[in-house]
Amino acid sequence: MLVPMARKTASDDPLAPVTLAVGQEDLLLDRAVRDVVAAARAADADTDVRELTPDQLQPGTLAELTSPSLFAERKVVVVRNAQDLSADTIKDVKAYLSAPAEEITLVLLHAGGAKGKGLLDAARKAGAREVACPKMTKPADRLAFVRQEFRATGRSATPEACQALVDAIGSDLRELASAVSQLVADVEGTIDEAVVGRYYTGRAEASSFTVADRAVEGRAAEALEALRWSLATGVAPVMITSALAQGVRAIGKLSSARGGRPADLARELGMPPWKIDRVRQQMRGWTPDGVAAALRAVAEADAGVKGGGDDPEYALEKAVVTIARAARSRGR
């Protein structure tokens, strides 16, 4: 299921006594905090905001921060990495959840998972407003995020432009959001692929999808150059294996499909028409045996980057070379 942005529970009042933001996507966690602070300051411009890390929230600190004030000031208390709180502090927080103070909003940022699960369960049981902020590991999730960012601004962007932006920027949601903001500020009318290319063509060379495109086209040297640049700029290895898998599978799907117009094949294969045209150009030189060999190489690389090997970079380089060779297998 796609998760384009933070999902909220039915009780969606940012001034609820307790907000629980769960996940590891920093941008969404920060937005959850921002929404609460904005709502509090809209109600009271003098709202006091306190942000605390686990080492700053010692036993007794929460009681001090939430004790009644002579001036009944509104306050937002943000606890980051709540899963790392000490056992004694968690007891304090659980006690507070049973009787939250008026005019105070407590925001707990929790990574989810097993660590600190008791606090997570207690907050949910107490009826905390919950905002889900999961890490977006799938390209489709980031594509949905970009589309929603454009929609939120009231601006139109073509599907090709959204895909080009994800291809160019990669997995960093902050950079994707910033890129959308820049395009919206600088460009009038509908944002298309050509506009994205003018702004971000340099970044596109560092994307995981560029690595995949060069590999399936049989351009091994360029694919390896793009791979090394991608890794140097922080693209996660798992994102590269995912892009390689998508590229090879697209070749396999289209090579076994019946002929027809791009629009008909798009419906049959679940690809946009523009991608059908791109894959048709890339699939020259491929054979069924080549596709099979390339898929095995991707599977081995995927295992290597997920802990099955000692050197993820070598695993990726090996896969890229194998795929590039397979792309030139016809006519040997």
The model's pLDDT over 169-212, given as tens digits with 9 standing for 90+, comes to 777 888 889 889 989 988 889 999 888 877 776 554 446 788 89
Looking at the structure, do residues 147 and 224 belong to the same domain, yes or no?
A: no
Are residues 79 and 52 in contact, defined by beta-carbon separation less than 8 angstroms?
yes
Q: Which comes out higher in pLDDT, residue 246 or 204?
A: 246
For residue 228, give Cα distances in angstroms to 25, 33, 215, 246, 325.
25, 36, 13, 20, 19
Contact call for residues 145 and 4 (beta carbons, < 8 A) = yes
For residue 40, give Cα distances in angstroms to 67, 96, 139, 312.
18, 20, 35, 46
Helix, strand, or coil here: 14?
Answer: coil
Q: From start to end of the chain, where are the E strands?
A: 7-8, 18-22, 48-52, 75-79, 104-110, 129-132
Is the pLDDT score of 242 beyond 90? no
Choosing from 85, 116, 133, the residue where a domain stops is: 133
Tell me: do 238 and 223 sit in the same domain: yes
d(CA 198, CA 25): 29
Task: Specify whether the CB–CB gap between 146 and 27 falls below 8 A.
Answer: no
* Domain presence at residue 283: yes
Which pLDDT score is estimated for 5?
A: 41
Q: Same domain for 74 and 160? A: no
pLDDT of residue 66: 87
- Choose from 67-76, 124-133, 247-256 the range with maximum mean pLDDT: 124-133
The rounded mean pLDDT for the chain is 85
Residues 126 and 99 in one domain: yes
Residue 260, CA distances (Å) to 233, 254, 267, 279 in order: 40, 11, 11, 14
Instruction: Give SS3 for 18.
Output: strand
pLDDT bracket for residue 138 (50, 70, 90) = confident
State the pLDDT at residue 317: 94
Which residues make beta-bridge pairs with 108?
A: 20, 79
CA dihedral 2, 156, 152, 167 (to 10 degrees): 50
Say what percent of the chain tops pLDDT 90. Answer: 48
Task: Specify if 294 maps to a domain.
Answer: yes
Asked whether the predicted pLDDT for residue 279 surpasses 90, the reply is no
Number of independent structural domains in the chain: 3
* pLDDT at res. 97: 95
The parent domain of residue 122 ranges over 18-133
Position 4 scores a pLDDT of 37
State the pTM of this model: 0.58
Q: In one letter, which amino acid is 235? A: V
7 lies in some domain: no
CATH number of the domain that residue 304 is part of? 1.20.272.10
Which residues have a Cβ under 8 Å from the Cβ of 217 and sit 6 or more positions away? 282, 324, 327
Contact 82, 108 (CB under 8 A): yes
Asked whether residue 128 falls in the same domain as residue 147, the answer is no
From residue 249, give the alpha-carbon distance in Å to each of 45, 171, 201, 221, 328: 55, 21, 25, 22, 16
Share of the chain above pLDDT 70, in %: 86
Boundary (domain end) residue, out of 200, 227, 248: 200
Q: Which tokens sit at 232?
A: 């140097």
What per-residue string of b and e applies to 188-216 under the rule 16 or more CB within 10 Å gives b? eeebbbebbeebbeebbbbbbbbbbbbbb
Which residue, 109, 133, 157, sits at the end of a domain? 133
Pick from 190-194, 215-219, 253-257, 328-332: least confident: 328-332
Q: For 239-314, list the strands marked E by DSSP.
A: none
Reported confidence tier of residue 102, pLDDT bands at 50, 70, 90: confident
pLDDT digits (tens, 9 = 90+) for 140-172: 888 999 999 999 999 999 998 998 888 777 778
CATH number of the domain enclosing 28: 3.40.50.300
For residues 313 and 222, membership in a common domain is answered with yes
